[in-house]
Amino acid sequence: MTDAQDRLYMQQALAEAQAASSRGEVPVGAVLVDPVSDTVIARSGNAPIGIDDPTAHAEILAIRDGCYARGNYRLTGLTLYVTLEPCTMCAGAISNARIGRVVYGASDPKGGAVDSGVQFFQSPTCHHKPEVTRGVMEGESAAMLKAFFRARRKKTSRKKTSTG
């Protein structure tokens, strides 16, 4: 994939993140792409609150939909674009699905598990290590997350102030 294609698909992931934010979810979006045919296989935004499922991260939902679309639990050769560095759960699912490449936007020093935290793909127990491209549209991804949490903090502080 070229830098222009990476940006195009990350823009689509950002649109999914914005949709998640509009639903009150943490704004993370994911797009699963077949780089050979240059087609989107699946896309999703975070949905743990909306569907009462703590595993409903954007990556997990896109992987599930991709597996259904492909009729296979392996997604070998596909590329997953995600706006935020995947957590440990999502990194494990990426590895188990045998996704060929992960492209992420913003790093997540607190919850990320690719380059932060446990660095899952570097673990000797990791069975499959995808190619990783970091920082694609990082500024846009980080800004959306910061704005979401800033608005949430304001809303929380207003509730505390108005209730005394």
What residues are annotated to the active site?
Answer: 59
Cβ contact 29:20 at 8 Å = yes
Strand-pairing partners, residue 76, are 99
Answer whether 28's CB lies under 8 Å from 46's CB: yes
- Contact assessment for residue 106 and residue 136, using Cβ atoms and an 8 Å cutoff: no
* DSSP letters spanning 81-133: EEEE---HHHHHHHHHHTBSEEEEEE--TTT--SSSTT-GGGSTT-S---EEE
How far apart, in whole angstroms, are the C-alpha atoms of residue 128 and residue 120? 10
Q: Identify the CA nearest to 12 among candidates 68, 81, 77.
A: 81
Q: How many CB atoms lie within 10 A of CB 116?
A: 14
